[in-house]
Every structure is written in C-alpha cells, then in structure tokens.
Chain A
Amino acid sequence: MTGAKVPPPVWQRNLLFAVICLAGAGAVVSDLLQSDTMNSPRDHEPRKFQNASFEATVQVVDNQFEANWARTGLKPMQPADELTLVRRLSLGLTGTIPSLEEIRELEKQPEGTRVQWWLSHLFEDRRTSDHLAERFARATVGVENGPFLIYRRRRFVSWLSDEIHVNRPYDRIVRSLITAKGLWTNNPEVNFVTVTIDQNENKGPDEAKLAARVTRAFLGVRIDCVQCHDDYLGDDWLQKDFHQLASFFGEADMTASGIHETDKPYVFKYRGAGETNAVPPQVPFSAELLPEEGHPRRRLADWVTHKENRAFARATVNRVWALMFGRPLVTPVDQIPLQATTDKPFPPGLETLADDFITNNYDLRRLIRVIAATRVFQLDSEGAEPPTDQHDAHWAAFGLTRLRPEQVAGSILQAASLKPIDANAHIIWQLSRSAQRSDFIKLYGDVGEDEFSATGGTIPQRLLLMNGNMVHERIKDNIVANAATRILATARDNPSAVEAAYLAVLSRRPSPKESAHFVAALDEGGRFARRNRMADLYWALLNSTEFSWNH
C-alpha cells in the first residue's frame, strides 16, 4: 500500500496487531508457566484402609512371607523410605514417576501415612486408569492393530479405562467382555471378540483364540498348548478340554450389525479322528460351577467369575502383583497351577489376597491398597548387607526390574517438567509429549505382550538415552518447557537446585557425596556455564541405572 491517500491508521493498525500478537503469546506462555497448586485427592477416606478386615489381610500376608523367610534363613531388607514406595506405585500404576510438585505436596502429609494418601491421589488421576487399561488390554486383546475396520483397539482401551476409573468390580468387567454383543463401535467391549476375526478366512470370531485369551488372561491357565494334541509336558490337559471350551464361543457370529448369537455349533476334527464333529461346550475344570441353562457365553462368564472359581481371583491377583512389583508372584504371569501340592505349594500371599479380592467383590483398588500395605512390597531393594539372588527369589528384597519403554519415555518427559503431565496439564504439553513419546518407544523397542521378561538393556537403548533427541531437547536451556532451566531460575541456592533435580528425576534426595559433587560443579562457573552444568546433571541422572530400573 503505497498511496498518498493512506492515513496514519496503517501504522496504528500494525501496532495494534503487534500488541495483540504479543499479548496472545504472553497469555500462552503465562498459561504454560502458571503454577496453581495441585489438588489434594477429594476422596481420601482412611476408613478404606484403616479397618479390621484390611489390617487382618495385610497381617496374614506378612505372616506368610515372614514364615517363609524364617524357613529359608533369609534376613529381609529394611523397609524402604516412603519416596521410594511412591515412585514404585507411580511407575506401576501410571507408567511414570511422580512430579516435583506432587512430591512437595506429598511431603506435607504426616510421615507414615503417605503411601495410602498417594494411592488416593493416583486413583483420581486419569493416567492411572489409562495405564492400567493398557496393561490389561495387552493380556486381553494383545498389542497389534488387529483386523481393519472391525476392530478398534483405542476404543476398547478407553472403554476399559472408563470402567477402571469408576472402579467397576473386575468380575463385571470380565463378564462384559466374554458376553459382548453388538457393534464394535457402539459397544467397545465387543472388540475383545472382533479382534480374533481373520478377515482373509471370511469366518466369524476365532473360537480357539478366544478360548486361549479367556484361559490365559482371566484364569491364569495355559490350555492353548493342547489345541493340536494332548498334553505331553506334565499337565494333564486333553485336546478336548480346549475345544470344548472354545465351543462356548461357537454361537457368536459376525454380521453387519455386529456380534450376535446364532445356533451355529462349533465343529472340530480331533487328532486321529476321521471326520469333523460338533463339539459340545464344557469347561476344563470345576464343572460343578457351570450353570446348566442359558446362552453359552453367559454360562461361560458365570463360570469364569464364579466366587468359587478361585483360578479367576488368583490370576487377577498375580497380574496386579506383577504390575506393582514388575514381576509376577507366579511366573509366567498366565500359568498358575490349579492345585497346590506339598512339594509345590502356592507362594505366600496368593491365596490370602485371592480370598480378600473375592470377599471384597473384586475391588481392584482395595487389592492394590492391600498389596501396597504389605511388608513385602515395602522392603528395600538394597541394604548394608546387600540382597542376594536368594533374597530376590523369596521376595526378601524388592527385586530390581527394568522399566518398560513407555515407562522410560513417560519418566523422561515427567522429569523435564515440574508439574504432573496429567489430564490437567496444558493441551500443548499433552500433545507434544504424546508425539515425542511414540517416537521414543519406536526406537527404544516395545516389548509387546511379553511384559514381564527380565533382561538387561540394549545398546540402542543406551545410545537413545545418551544421544537421542528427546533427552537432548528436554534437558537443554528452555525456560518455558524444561525443568532444568526453571529449577535454576527459581532455586534459592545451588544445594537446593541439586536437590530439586534429584527429586524431579530420581524421586529422592542426593547423598551428601553426590550433593557435594554437583554443588561444586554449579558453583564453579558463571551464569552460562551454570546452565550447562545443570543440563549435565540432568543428563547424568537420566542416564543412570537407577533411572531405568524400578527398585
């Protein structure tokens, strides 16, 4: 616009525009930086864990483990401090570490009460239900994307997350899965059934896959090995046990209106048999608990979740235990004997926790609270007299387990932020974090369904942590996005800056020796050098064994 007739409003308008832009940018930044205090859990009712039955269960479990330690002559480790326990719970239930802000809030609670307070806090955090849903989904529908169009894994996981968030009894959740009907989009639980459909084969749901999922995920029984032949490996399963179980799903069929019941029988040709035959539905054990009448899948659901079908409670206890400890009480997580024998008894705790779970209507939160309150969960993973392999084998120490890829990614992102990156975090954080997270997991390598295998780290993982983009971006100088910079800007002196970094990354305070080392490093340079030293401190903490392992 170069005319003589253009009046002053042009520069005024430009100025106004610039002011609006600046104000907008300022608002975004101040919004990102805003530090309103964290909400305390609304629903923190001590009666949930300060009552006779709760304490009795914890006591019995403790006694069982203590008897076992006495018998094996092992001296258990001392109790771990509360921050260590809180880190374990956050990693197990949310897949990330606590934020600095949350730790500060936690420390306002009286000592000795922080574990249960922390659980109340986590149960109200959407990250907990999302994370637990993803973990349960791995056992129920696997990790793959599954058949195109007729399977929506994300819908399934978010439905499961909703169920867990309202603490729906676990038996009811499982009943919904087994009996799911209708469209996979309207009724997300239907995806449990549709994921098994092989679209190339042009058939309905795969009864064999469903039978395998039901037994492994809900009953802790691996019966799918007898799909093709009778068991030669020590258990007594017969090929017919498997196919009679699969037969309960024979009537479920798939049409344009989704999954529904037909009167199609399940047929199978047994090994050695000349021809295919209709296979009657029957359960492989505890047949007396199976209702005589009703739709096959409803009968199966009744049997799986029957209060006397202890396999169901044991399998759930074992899985929740594995989430909290990083390793199951019985290994592998989905293979638990149906009967204890004198030379192979059930491990301590399993039966008592299963009883408590059944008596309390399959309340997952209660189960988590009980396990968290036991002595065995609260043991340290280290000691003046260091634990041995024997200690690990008998749970006389908290065993080290390697963090899964998404736990490492979540923890790096959390360590780089002072506030929790939860549902209340700014949408900009949530989006950018989610993109960085998936890139990271691709490179770090997802472990898939085999979640609880204990192997050491790999070279690409170390390279990713040492030189990768995510760590680099999250520790460099950035007052808006990175905790390292903000700690330096706000800490009153170098010792408290070092302490804040340790709390944000490792959820603990530095030892005197560590503090001395890093405070000296921060002391030695000017302002610019100090920022680099802070980034170096963050780098060292993120690259430590302690960060990559649950302990």
Chain B
Amino acid sequence: MNPACNSTTHISRRTLLRTAGLSGLAWLTPVAHWLGHAQEQAPKGGSAKSIIMLWMGGGPSQLETFDPHPGKKIAGGTKAIGTAAKGIQIAAGLPQTAEVMDEMTLVRSVVSREGDHERGTYHVKTGHRPDPTLVHPAIGAVVCHQLNGPEDQQVDIPRHISILPNQWPARGGYLGAQWDAFKVYNTEGRAGNLTARVKPERLDRRLDDLQVVEQNFARRRRPQLDEKTTLHNHTIDKALRMMRSDQINAFDVTQAPAATRDGFGKTPFGNACLAAVQLIETGVRCVEVTLNGWDTHANNHAFVAEQNAILDPALAGLIRELRARDRLKDTLVVCAGEFGRTPKINAADGRDHWPTGFSIALAGGGIRRGYVHGETDPEGVSKEPGKAVSVADVHATLLHALGIDTFKELMTPVGRPMGLTDGILVPELMTPA
C-alpha cells in the first residue's frame, strides 16, 4: 500500500551498480582471480543444522572463564584447572565445563572495535558493525532464512527463539520482522503466550465470535485485504497452529527426568539450556539463551564466581545432553558476549570493557574438538593477540559449519546487495576432514 522505499533511488542505485560492474571489468583483476581461487580451495560446507547461542550479556571476563593466566599479575589470583582436553586449562570456576572441553574449541583471540554494550552486541550477534543505513540480521535469522527446506515446513513453532532475552534480542533486520527471534521470558509455565487462557471449546466459540466482527469489517473492503495488507487473520491462523501443536511442549522442561534437570543446575538459565536442546530436537534452527550480569566494573571476581556457578552446569549439561541424544554433531554451540574485560584490574576491583582479545567458546556441528586458537598477552598489555580472529571471521566460520555459502549476497529492501558476511572462514576451527 505504502511503498517503503522511494522507487527512483531504488532504480538509480541498481542502474548505477550495474554500470559500475560493467565498466569496471573487475573480474580481470588479479584480486578477483585470487578470490575465486580461494573460494575453490575453501573446504566444503559443514553439516550443522542448528545453532544454540549462549549469550553472555554484559561481556564476560575472559580471564575468569576461558583464558586464565594463572600466576600472572593480570589474573588477580584466579586459578586455572586442567581439562579433558590435553594441554588446555580454563579458569577454576568452570569445573564441569572442563570435563567436556574435549568437545570444544576456544577462540581466545577474538578482536572487535566495538566497546559499547549495544554496538558490541549488534556486532557479535550479526557479524557486522552497526550501520546507520540498515539493520543487519542476527545469525539466527540468517540461518532460518537460508536453511528453509521441506523439513522446516513441519515445524509449527517459531524456528528462531530467544529465551530470557535482554534488551537487544536477535533481530531479523533487513530480512524483516518475521525473522526476529521469538521472545520467551520465562522458563517454567506458559511460554511466550502460546497457551490459550480458556478451554478449547470456549476458544473456538471466541473465534466464531471474532469471525462475526471480521466479516463486518471485510464487507465493504477489497477482497484481498487480509492476504495482502493486514495479514491479520493470516497471522491468527499461524498463531493458532502453534497453540494447537504438540511441539510447544518442547518449551516445557518440567516433564524432563529430574536427574537431567538437576544436571543443568535448575536455574532459569539452566532450564532454558535444557529447553534449547528440546527445541532443537523439534526442528528449531536457532535458540538464543541469555545470561546477563557479566558487566563487572566492580568486584569482578565475586560477581564472575556467581555467574560461573550458573553457567558451568548449564553449559556442560548442554554439551552432555546433546552428545547423549546424538545431536552434538549437527548442533553448533556458541558461548559468547559482546566483548571481554580489561586484563588490568581497576580501583574498584573490577574489569572494564575490552574488545581486543576476548574469548568465544564453540562446540559441536563440525567444530574441532579439544582445540585452542590464538593467545592473549600474559602481561595484558598488547591489544593484538596472536592469531587474531575478527568477529566477522567467527561468523564466516559459523555460517560455513552450517553449510551456508559465506560468499552469498542478499538483497536488502532498498535493493542494496549485502554479503552475508565480510569475514573469511578460519579453517583451523573446523574438524579436519
């Protein structure tokens, strides 16, 4: 009805790009040749089917989690423990995670240029830096958009879900609001308004009543109003399909065996991680689970200890449970926050924002097992970690693991071609063929 973009700029932009493409003869240049070559050499796409993103809101300290420097000044007394992966140590606060480290890869050298919470969150969730002219989709939205086959038609519930989101849940960006993560704010009881407030017979009666009002509204309006413009009854039908599907039981962890639930720590975050496993099994493509509270500008050690007590059983439980259900090989697990924290401890015994050299933990979905990539300066001075990996490169690697072509371009609503990622696959992070 009301075109979102101005058609004149739309056309002129496209025409311009086409002209530029023709006159540039870019394909003749050595760079293009090299790029083409690099693409041929790239390993074949992975076979992961879904992704669980554990979102550490606030930016966790790498030193008290996955990148301890025991005995160094910057550790501030934090100890390290050995893990199931030979030669890899992590912080002492994560003993259960240590036991499953043989399933994981730690990237200790992630670098970004975004030291603000909102911008950093955007950057790490989308793989792109914030851009005033458009909003990029988060990786979960990209995965749902790109992996949309016949089996996805069998999924009645949303395929992109965010449990316990903070103020910046994963969004669909230029792909559209229908790719936004479906937000669930509780981990017990009624998830995401998916259950009716009344008994089925009374709901049916209400829906009949609604049709009386709808018919009156449609009577003197164009025939395809709902289908083309309002989508109102169209979305009600979809919502009803969800409400009436058995698949919504996947949100419910109360039916899981008590021992399984205990294994995840029985915190809201732990419950949500268990729900994530159930949801993935139901065919959901991406579940984001948020654990806030990592913004430890003061009293870092005490606060991180509390956070670790929640994270440790949940993360380890998640990996154990996926392995037990034989889902780890096709489920990517990512544990990341918007940035890390300063090696230097501040006057309030806290650590401040540090986007240059922080850790992201990966597991499953063809990710290499028992591996550490990159290293940070043990004295905490250098902002250039060894084997630095950009956030975009992490995204390229994740997309690759999911079998998505990292060189693919999508068209934004204003007709601007936009690459899925600017990053390049980091082959070392994948299980060698």
A interface, CB within 8 angstroms of B? 200, 232-234, 327, 331-332, 335, 381-384, 386-389, 392, 399-402, 443, 445, 452-464, 466-468, 472, 506, 511, 513-514, 517-518, 521, 532, 536-537, 539-541, 543-546, 548-549
Residues of A near B232 (CB, < 8 A) are: 456-457, 462, 545, 548-549
Of all chain A residues, the one with the shortest Cβ separation from B210 is: A540
Offer 12 A-B interface pairs, CB within 8 angstroms, sorted by A: A335-B6, A382-B221, A399-B2, A456-B234, A458-B180, A460-B182, A466-B193, A466-B239, A513-B216, A543-B210, A544-B210, A545-B217
Most central of A388, A457, A521 by chain B CB within 10 Å: A457
Asked if B45 CB lies within 8 Å of chain A CBs, one says: no
- A467, B243: Cβ atoms closer than 8 Å: yes
Closest chain A residue to B220 by CB distance?
A: A382
Chain A's nearest CB lies how many Å from the CB of B217? 5
Closest B residue to A450 by CB, please name it.
B4
The residue in chain B whose Cβ has the minimal distance to the Cβ of A391 is B222
Contact between chains at B196 and A544 (CB < 8 Å)? no
Bound Cα distance from A545 to B177, whole angstroms: 19
Chain A: CB-nearest residue to B222 = A386
Q: B1-32 CB contact bits vs A (8 Å, 1 = yes)?
A: 11110101100110010000000000000000
Whether B231 and A457, one on each chain, are in contact in the complex, defined by CB atoms closer than 8 angstroms, is yes
Q: With a CB–CB cut-off of 8 A, which chain B residues contact A456?
A: 229-232, 234-235
Q: Which of B202-248 contact A (CB under 8 A)?
A: 202, 205-206, 209-210, 212-214, 216-217, 219-223, 225-226, 229-236, 238-239, 242-243
Determine the main DSSP class of B at the interface with A.
Answer: helix
Asked if B192 is at the interface of the complex by the 8 Å CB criterion, the answer is: yes
Assess A332 versus B229: contact at CB under 8 Å? Given A233-B12, A543-B210. Answer: no
A349 CA to B433 CA in the complex, in Å? 68
B158 touches A (CB below 8 Å): yes
B172 CB → nearest A CB, Å? 10
The residues of B that contact A331 with a CB separation of less than 8 Å are 2-3, 6
Please judge, given known A-B contacts A335-B6, A400-B229, A459-B235, whether A514 and B216 are in contact too, CB under 8 Å.
yes
Q: Are A518 and B209 also in contact (CB < 8 A) when A200-B116, A327-B2, A456-B232 are?
A: yes
Instruction: Name the A residues within 8 Å of B231 (CB-CB).
Output: 456-457
**CB proximity of B17 to chain A, nearest CB, Å:** 10
Which residues of chain B in 138-190 are interfacial with respect to chain A, using CB atoms and an 8 Å cutoff? 158, 176-178, 180, 182-183, 190
Other A-B pairs beyond A457-B230, A511-B216, 19, CB < 8 Å: A331-B3, A331-B6, A386-B222, A388-B222, A392-B2, A400-B229, A453-B4, A456-B235, A459-B238, A460-B183, A506-B213, A513-B216, A514-B213, A540-B206, A543-B236, A544-B213, A545-B214, A545-B217, A548-B232
Question: Is A387 within 8 A of B222, CB to CB?
Answer: yes
Chain B residues within 8 Å of A517, by CB: 209, 212
Residue B115, interface by CB 8 Å: yes
Q: How many A-B Cβ pairs are below 8 Å? A: 154
Residues of A within 8 A of B234 (CB): 456
CA distance A546 to B231 in the complex (A): 12
> Shortest Cβ distance from B159 into chain A, in angstroms?
12
Contact A464 B193 (CB under 8 A): yes
| Set of chain A residues within 8 Å of B209, measured between Cβ atoms | 517-518, 521, 536-537, 539-540
User: What's the nearest-Cβ distance from chain A to residue B24, in Å?
Assistant: 15
Does B309 make an interface contact (CB < 8 A)? no
A384, B221: Cα distance in complex, Å: 8
**A156 shortest CB reach to chain B, Å:** 20
Alpha-carbon distance between A386 and B116 when the two chains are bound, in angstroms = 52
A517 to B190, CA, bound (A): 32
Q: Are A332 and B216 in contact (CB under 8 A)?
A: no
A84, B144: Cα distance in complex, Å: 41
Q: Which 6 A-B pairs have the closest CB atoms?
A: A456-B231, A540-B209, A382-B220, A454-B2, A545-B232, A463-B193
Interfacial chain B residues near A400, Cβ < 8 Å: 1, 225, 229-230
Name the A residues within 8 Å of B233 (CB-CB).
Answer: 545
B197 at the interface (CB under 8 A from A): yes
CB nearest to B223 among chain A residues: A386
Determine which of B12, B195, B222 lies in contact with A467 in the assembled complex, contact meaning CB atoms within 8 Å: B195
Shortest CB distance B348–A (Å): 17
**Interchain CB contact (< 8 A) of A463 among B3, B212, B213, B239:** B239
Enumerate chain A residues within 8 angstroms of B235, measured Cβ to Cβ: 456-459, 461-462
Complex-state Cα separation, A335 to B8, whole angstroms? 13
Which of B8, B115, B176, B206 makes the CB contact (< 8 A) with A200?
A: B115
Is there an interface contact between A399 and B1, defined as CB atoms closer than 8 Å? yes
The answer to whether B230 and A402 have CB atoms under 8 Å apart is yes
Complex contact B212–A513 (CB within 8 A): yes
- What CA separation (Å) do A417 and B261 show in the bound complex? 44
Contact A536 B1 (CB under 8 A): no
| B426 CB-CB contact with A under 8 Å | no
Query: Residue of B at shortest CB range from A471?
Result: B197
Known contacts A200-B115, A400-B1, A546-B213; decide if A463 and B12 are in contact (CB<8 Å): no
CB-CB < 8 A to A458: which residues of B? Answer: 177-178, 180, 235
The answer to whether B230 and A234 have CB atoms under 8 Å apart is no
Q: Does B305 contact A (CB under 8 A)?
A: no
Contacts of A460 in B (CB 8 A): 180, 182-183, 192-193
CA distance A233 to B225 in the complex (A): 34
Residue pair B213, A234 in contact (C-beta under 8 Å) = no
A459 and B239 within 8 A (CB): yes
Contact B116 A536, beta carbon cutoff 8 Å: no
Per-residue CB contact flags for chain B residues 416-427 toward chain A (1 = under 8 Å, else 0) read: 000000000000
- Which chain A residue lies CB-closest to B207? A540
**Set of chain B residues within 8 Å of A455, measured between Cβ atoms:** 4, 176-177
- Is the C-beta of B345 less than 8 angstroms from some C-beta in chain A? no
Output the nearest chain A residue to B9 by Cβ-Cβ distance: A233
Q: Is the CB of A389 within 8 A of B1?
A: yes
* Cβ-based interface call for B194 (8 A): yes
Chain A positions within 8 Å of B223 at CB level: 386
Complex-state Cα separation, A460 to B234, whole angstroms: 13
Would you give the shortest CB distance from A194 to chain B, in whole angstroms?
Answer: 17
How far, in Å, is A24 (CB) from chain B's closest CB?
Answer: 33
Contact of B239 among A462, A518, A541 (CB under 8 A): A462
Q: What is the CB-to-nearest-CB distance from A142 to chain B, in angstroms, rounded to a whole number?
A: 11
> For the complex, what is the distance from the CA of A318 to the CA of B210, rounded to whole Å?
36
- Known contacts being A386-B222, A462-B235, A463-B193, is A233 close to B13, with CB within 8 Å? yes
